[in-house]
């Protein structure tokens, strides 16, 4: 097993490496091997943060990282909650896309990946992995794979583009990977389509590859684990991990209730934990990934759009201008840091909103999860009666006579 297998454990070569190692997931689980803890973390991070990257990457060996993937698949199968399976598959795909983009050198052609500190892999190899090698080719030149040769035989001319990071993809492949829920820009009416080929840029290609990865990860999930002596032993050994993960996906109803019935956002009625996170964000304190996810998903659960959330967190343009003036007066790099944070939050909000629009729930973490990560702060009497931050907010709003007075102009509709 090598580092490429660890970075892309769903590749066929990684699966072969696991089979050749002759190590069954069942033996790893019953022996409580490190791969079990990493598999647990893999799924937990997927549910909480939309990534499968480890928070302690140096803790795990390459072998453990590879073997954690089949363990993670067992865990989500035992949980057997469609939303959890969907989140897990999306997180694996999103993480893989980030890794591919990171591995590609900015100063070389897109078809060359870095070979230092990890095994190299060509862009064509990635396309081949997902059966796209004969469906995608560069739009810059006629010196391309077999597809262009086939077009030549048909005496059909495709437009050449000067952009080195542009491609043509066969219509069938495009339609099989592009999701109609992605928005208007992905509809064929918004695309250049010629002779059964669709013009896409490099970002589009990575999005389509991400979709292919998600399909592969989700394929076969969930599968039966219980029902045999060996399967029952596995389930028993995973009891604690499964209980922990099920807790993370058990609070969808609260997010559904608030999204359906709240016309404004009243930060003064937020639970103490969220008020603390809002205060930290406003003071430009860098939030841990899990804390930022908890805060943003809480706000998204109330149908808050990007502009509303940025205003609440004081990352809107007016507040940004004021912070920039202060930063310049004291010669700090606050402007650059704040801009980076704002862009990251914008991306996270849009991602969560897009996934909810597609029917995928990303509820804020429960109180138990907030406590586990040290994000539960200054609990009050109401905290003792609820199980998640959204429920706290609903009860707080219901308890006041005129809740709109607390909105402070933060209306959502």
Q: What is the pLDDT of residues 378-390, one digit of tens each?
A: 999 999 888 888 8
Backbone angles phi, psi at 167, to 5 degrees: -145, 160
CB 389 within 8 A of CB 253: no
Across 132-161, average pLDDT = 61
Q: How far apart are CA 159 and CA 373, in angstroms?
A: 54
pLDDT tier at 88, thresholds 50, 70, 90:
very high
* Burial class of residue 378 (count of CB atoms within 10 Å of its CB; 0-12, 13-18, 19+): exposed
CB 262 within 8 A of CB 406: no
| pLDDT for 60 beyond 60 | yes
Across 12-29, average pLDDT = 92
CB 147 within 8 A of CB 174: no
Q: How far apart are CA 26 and CA 123, in angstroms?
A: 35
pLDDT tier at 337, thresholds 50, 70, 90:
low
What are 163-216's pLDDT values in tens digits?
A: 567 899 999 999 999 987 788 889 999 999 998 999 999 899 999 999 999 999
3-state secondary structure of 138: strand
Backbone angle region of 80, left / alpha / beta, with phi > 0 → left and psi within -120 to 50 → alpha? left
More confident residue, 405 or 212: 212
Q: Is 367 annotated as a binding residue?
A: yes
DSSP string, 52-91: ---SSGGGS-HHHHHHHHHHHHHHHHHH--HHHHHHHHHH
Across 378-403, average pLDDT = 84
What are 97-106's pLDDT values in tens digits?
A: 989 887 764 3
Six token digits for residue 84: 């959890």
pLDDT tier at 15, thresholds 50, 70, 90:
very high
For the chain, percent of residues with pLDDT exceeding 70:
75
3-state secondary structure of 124: helix
Q: How far apart are CA 317 and CA 310, in angstroms?
A: 9
Q: How far apart are CA 283 and CA 16, in angstroms?
A: 50
DSSP 248: H
Tell me, yes or no, if the pTM score tops 0.85. no
DSSP string, 140-188: S-S--SHHHHHHHHTT------S-TTEEEEEHHHHHHH--GGG-GGGSG
pLDDT of the residue at 68 = 97
Across 372-399, average pLDDT = 86
Across 257-282, average pLDDT = 79
Q: How far apart are CA 270 and CA 278, in angstroms?
A: 9
More confident residue, 199 or 350: 199
For the chain, percent of residues with pLDDT exceeding 90:
38
Backbone angles phi, psi at 19, to 5 degrees: -65, -40
Q: Is 383 annotated as a binding residue?
A: yes
Name the residue among 245, 314, 327 with its Cα closest to residue 43. 245
pLDDT of the residue at 158 = 56
Tell me the sheet residues that pair with 201. Answer: 166
Average pLDDT across the chain, whole number:
80
Distances (CA, A) of 192 to 131, 150, 187: 23, 20, 10
Q: Is 102 annotated as a binding residue?
A: no
Q: Is 376 annotated as a binding residue?
A: yes
């Amino acid at each position: 097993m090598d580092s490429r297998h660890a970075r892309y454990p769903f590749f066929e070569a990684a699966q072969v490496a696991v089979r050749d190692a002759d190590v069954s997931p069942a033996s790893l689980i019953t022996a409580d091997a490190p791969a079990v803890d990493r598999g647990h973390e893999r799924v937990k991070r997927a549910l909480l943060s939309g990534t499968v990257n480890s928070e302690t990457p140096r803790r795990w060996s390459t072998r453990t990282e590879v073997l954690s993937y089949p363990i993670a698949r067992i865990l989500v199968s035992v949980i057997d909650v469609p939303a959890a399976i969907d989140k897990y598959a999306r997180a694996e795909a999103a993480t893989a896309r980030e890794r591919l983009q990171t591995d590609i050198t900015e100063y070389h052609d897109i078809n060359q990946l870095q070979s230092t500190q990890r095994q190299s892999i060509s862009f064509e190899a990635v396309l081949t992995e997902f059966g796209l090698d004969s469906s995608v080719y560069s739009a810059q030149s006629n010196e391309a794979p077999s597809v262009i040769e086939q077009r030549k035989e048909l005496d059909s001319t495709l437009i050449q583009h000067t952009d080195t990071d542009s491609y043509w993809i066969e219509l069938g492949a495009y339609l099989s990977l592009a999701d109609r829920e992605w928005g208007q820009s992905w509809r064929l009416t918004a695309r250049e389509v010629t002779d059964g080929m669709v013009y896409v840029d490099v970002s589009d290609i990575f999005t389509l590859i991400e979709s292919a990865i998600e399909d592969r990860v989700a394929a076969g999930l969930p599968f039966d684990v219980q029902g045999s002596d060996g399967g029952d032993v596995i389930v028993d050994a995973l009891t604690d991990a499964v209980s922990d993960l099920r807790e993370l996906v058990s609070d969808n109803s609260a997010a559904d209730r608030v999204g359906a019935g709240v016309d404004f956002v009243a930060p003064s009625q937020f639970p103490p934990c969220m008020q603390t996170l809002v205060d930290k964000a406003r003071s430009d304190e860098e939030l841990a990934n899990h804390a930022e996810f908890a805060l943003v998903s809480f706000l998204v659960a109330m149908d808050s759009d990007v502009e509303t959330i940025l205003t609440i967190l004081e990352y809107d343009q007016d507040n940004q201008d004021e912070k920039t003036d202060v930063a310049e007066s004291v010669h700090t790099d606050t402007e650059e840091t704040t801009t980076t944070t704002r862009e990251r939050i914008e991306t996270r909000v849009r991602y969560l909103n897009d996934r909810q629009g597609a029917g995928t729930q990303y509820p804020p973490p429960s109180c138990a999860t907030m406590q586990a990560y040290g994000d539960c702060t200054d609990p009050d009497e109401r905290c003792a009666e609820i199980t998640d931050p959204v429920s706290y907010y609903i009860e707080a709003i219901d308890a006041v006579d005129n809740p709109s007075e607390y909105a402070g102009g933060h209306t959502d509709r």
